[in-house]
Structure formats: C-alpha cells, structure tokens
Amino acid sequence: MTTLRRLLGSVLPWWKNLALALLFTFLFALFSGFSIGMVLPFTQILFEGKIESAERAAPASAEDALLPGFAAWKERGRSLFLGLFADDDPKRALFKVCAGVFVVFLLKGLFNYLHQILMITLQERVIKRMRDDLFRRIERLPISFFERTRSGELISRVTNDVQLVREMVSVLFTEAIQNVMLLAVFVVVALLVSWQLALLSFVIFPVLGVFTSKVSRRLRKYGTRFQEDMAGITSRLQETIAGIRIVKGFSMERHEEEKFRGATERYLRSYIRVKRVAILTSPIAEQLGVIGAILVLWYGGNQVLAGRGLQPEGFFLFLAAVLNMMQPIRKLAHVNTVVQQGISAAERAYRLLDEVEETRPAGGKIVREVLRAIRYENVSFRFDGGGAVPALEGIRFEIPSGSMVALVGP
C-alpha cells in the first residue's frame, strides 16, 4: 500500500484534471443507472398498455412497510421518473421512452469519452515524470553503483518496469474508478427496488473478497519474480552486444546462446505462472456473481409469482441492475491482477529512485578559462571497490593550455 500511495501521490500536481475526470466518471455512472432504469417505463407499456402518471403510486410491499420514510421517498422518485414518459396513448408513451433512451445513451457516451481523454492524459503525465526522474537519478548515481549493477537491469527498470507501472496506472485511472462507480450505482438501484433481494444477492461479496485477497498475494510474489527474469534477459542481451568482439574473438557464440536460452526459459516459466493465476481470476469472480444472480432469480421470481408486492417491472429492473454488476465485478478482478504486477514493478522503480546520489565535495572552484596551464599538486585517486591500492597517488604535473593529456594505467 505504501508503494501505491506514493504512486497516487504523484498525481497531485494535476489534481484539477483528476477532479474533472472524476466528475465525468460519476456522470457516466449515473447515466448508466438511468439507462437500466428505462426498463421501468418500457415494461409498464408492455404489461399495462400505458405508463402511470406521476400522481399514481404503486402498491406498497411488505418490505416497504418496515421503512415507511424510505418507501415514501422512493415512491416519489419513481413517480417523478415515470412522469417524464406518462401518456394515456401508449404509442406516444413508447416514443417518449425511445427518445429518452437515445438521450441517456448519448450523454452516457459523451461523459465516458471526456473521462477517458482526461484520465489518459493524466496517466501519461505521471509515467513521463517517472521516466524522467529515473533517468535523472541514474545520471547522478556514483560509479560504484554501476560497478555492482548490470546495465541491462537498469534498462529493464526504465523500460519494462515502467511499462508495467503504466498499465497499472491506466487501469486504476480508467477501469478501476469507472467500474467502482458503476458498481455503486447498480447497487443503489438494486437497493431502491428491493433491499431484501439486494442483500440476498450480496452474499457472494465476502467470498469474492477472500478470493481476491489470496490471489493478490500470489500475483505480487509471482510478478516480482517474472520482472526480475525479464531484467535478466535484457542484461544478457545488452552484455552480449556490448562485448560482441570478445564473444566472436574467443568463439563463445554457443556458450552465450546457452546462457540466453536459460534466461528466456526462466522468464517463460515465471510468465506462465503469473498468467495461470491471472487468467483464472475473472472467470471465478464472474461465476460467483452468477451464483448471486441465481439466488435472485429463484427468490425474486417466487415473490412475483406469489404476488407479494414486487411488481414484474420492478423485478425486471432489479434483475437488470444485478446482471449489470457482472461486468464491473469481472473488470475489477482484472484490475486487481494488473495492479499487483504493477506494484511489484513500481517497487523496483522506487528502489532505484531511492538510491543515494553521488555527492560532490564542497569548496571546489569553477575554472571558466585557462590562460597558461593547469597544475595538479599531490593528487590521489582510488576507485570504489578497488582495494587499498590507489590508482593515482601524490602525482604532480602541469597541462599547458590547448594540450590533451591521457593518464593510462597498466
């Protein structure tokens, strides 16, 4: 969570864009709720031949009697909504419903487009900053860091790891926020129609939560491993290309091929292990949702057949709300898969960003122009990790202006 919190904190410079995108996301989810709400007037035309006027009230159910204040508020909202399409002529009422469907889906599509554009812009700004920060930090790290770290691993962190972080940010800013709001809207619609049926359908949520938690831990573990194996491939490739003259000079092609095949084999196994868990997530989450829908079909269908207050149009609306929950649940399961892999990649990127920069000694003087020569007096130098023997010790020499001098060791 610390890594995810740190990543989300990088969005703060563009909080205005984020706020506007969240507004459009909310409006998209709201009109998605209205879109399934159009089932109510349409089924009334089919079953009753007309739509009730705003003044007419539906018969109260037994569950509404338990919460009279809530029932009155719900009925006022229902009457106002149906009043938009009420007409004694069923053809005119049907035309109003069709026009309403067109307007609702038009606005829903518009708000979804605006949400997507703003979120994509936001996510790319966050990733650009991360890439720039990584490059800046790499430039300022001491030579000793590069001596103990393979260059291929650094390249992998700036390319492969950042790409996984980009995918995570993408699903967080687009799919996660949008589907959470959609799920919330559909849950509210289901509760408004029948809170008893809604509670029955929600029994699968705790099971889904336990399943998601176990999958998350496993994906995080496997994801870290396969990213390290990808870095191994990049390192092996970079080192071979950089030293190709040595490889060819000593006829080491077969040896290097074996090492590269070993690296790709390790990555293959790690990747398949991750995908086995990831691919299983969505179908299981969807199947748990189907179990909830089956419970609703059985119990709610019996309520309608027994005439216990729930009207057929209300049951169809409830069923539409529950079935529309399936897609957000499935997508959120996919979001969790991508996020777990992205967190592992972000942790590797942040470890690089947290490396201590090389400090320059204070008190130096900037030489802007050399008039005659530069003189070195008693200069010593030792490489990091080079042991106790210095590379240079107590040297004194002078370099005339315009000359080029190289210090070459044995």
pLDDT band at 54 (very low <50, low <70, confident <90, very high): very low
Instruction: Classify burial at 210, counting beta carbons within 10 Å of its beta carbon; exposed 0-12, middle 13-18, buried 19 or more.
Output: exposed
Domain 2-51+87-353 architecture: Up-down Bundle (1.20)
pLDDT at 63 over 60: no
Q: Which residues of 349-372 are buried (b: 16+ CB within 10 A; e: fewer)?
A: bbebeeeeeeeeeeeeeeeeeeee
What are the structure tokens assigned to 60, written together? 């109260």
pLDDT band at 205 (very low <50, low <70, confident <90, very high): low
Closest listed residue to residue 129, CA positions, set 273, 296, 9, 10: 10
Q: Are 304 and 310 within 8 A, CB to CB? A: yes
The pLDDT of residue 386 is: 58
Domain assignments of the chain as residue spans, ordered by start: 2-51+87-353
Average per-residue pLDDT in the chain?
A: 77
CB count, 10 Å around CB of 104? 19
pLDDT at 337 over 80: no
Kindly state the average pLDDT of the residues 236-254: 77
Distance, in Å, from the CA atom of 226 to the CA atom of 83, rounded to the nearest integer, reads 58
The structure's pTM equals 0.65
Kindly state the average pLDDT of the residues 291-302: 74
Kindly state the average pLDDT of the residues 132-157: 80
pLDDT band at 24 (very low <50, low <70, confident <90, very high): very high
Kindly state the average pLDDT of the residues 63-79: 60
Kindly state the average pLDDT of the residues 324-335: 79
pLDDT band at 56 (very low <50, low <70, confident <90, very high): very low
Distance, in Å, from the CA atom of 190 to the CA atom of 195, rounded to the nearest integer, reads 7
Distance, in Å, from the CA atom of 322 to the CA atom of 205, rounded to the nearest integer, reads 13
The pLDDT of residue 209 is: 65
Q: Are 214 and 309 within 8 A, CB to CB? A: no
pLDDT at 72 over 70: no
Kindly state the average pLDDT of the residues 252-266: 83
SS (H, E, C) the chain: CHHHHHHHHCCHHHHHHHHHHHHHHHHHHHHHHHHHHCHHHHHHHHHHCCECCCCCCCCCCHHHHHCHHHHHHHHHHHHHHHHCCCECCHHHHHHHHHHHHHHHHHHHHHHHHHHHHHHHHHHHHHHHHHHHHHHHHHHHCCHHHHHHCCHHHHHHHHHHHHHHHHHHHHHHHHHHHHHHHHHHHHHHHHHHHCHHHHHHHCCHHHHHHHHHHHHHHHHHHHHHHHHHHHHHHHHHHHHHHHCHHHHHHCCCHHHHHHHHHHHHHHHHHHHHHHHHHHHHHHHHHHHHHHHHHHHHHHHHHHHHHCCCCCCHHHHHHHHHHHHHCHHHHHHHHHHHHHHHHHHHHHHHHHHHHCCCCCCCCCCCCCCCCCCCEEEEEEEEECCCCCCCCCCEEEEEEEEECCCCCCCCCC
Kindly state the average pLDDT of the residues 220-232: 72
pLDDT band at 55 (very low <50, low <70, confident <90, very high): very low
Kindly state the average pLDDT of the residues 221-232: 72
Q: Are 281 and 334 within 8 A, CB to CB? A: yes
Q: Percent of the chain at pLDDT above 90?
A: 3
Total number of residues shown for the chain: 410
What are the structure tokens assigned to 18, written together? 């984020």
Residue of 86 and 98 predicted with greater confidence: 98
Distance, in Å, from the CA atom of 234 to the CA atom of 157, rounded to the nearest integer, reads 10
Distance, in Å, from the CA atom of 1 to the CA atom of 151, rounded to the nearest integer, reads 29
pLDDT band at 128 (very low <50, low <70, confident <90, very high): confident
CA separation, residue 219 to residues 210, 262, 337, 342 (Å) = 14, 23, 7, 10
Q: Are 57 and 89 within 8 A, CB to CB? A: no
pLDDT at 87 over 80: no
208-211 CB contacts, 8 Å cutoff, 24+ apart = 208/285, 208/288, 208/289, 208/329, 211/284, 211/285, 211/288
Kindly state the average pLDDT of the residues 150-164: 80
Kindly state the average pLDDT of the residues 365-392: 75
Kindly state the average pLDDT of the residues 188-192: 83
Kindly state the average pLDDT of the residues 321-343: 79
Residue of 68 and 81 predicted with greater confidence: 81
pLDDT at 107 over 60: yes
pLDDT at 244 over 60: yes
Distance, in Å, from the CA atom of 267 to the CA atom of 260, rounded to the nearest integer, reads 11
Q: Percent of the chain at pLDDT above 70?
A: 77
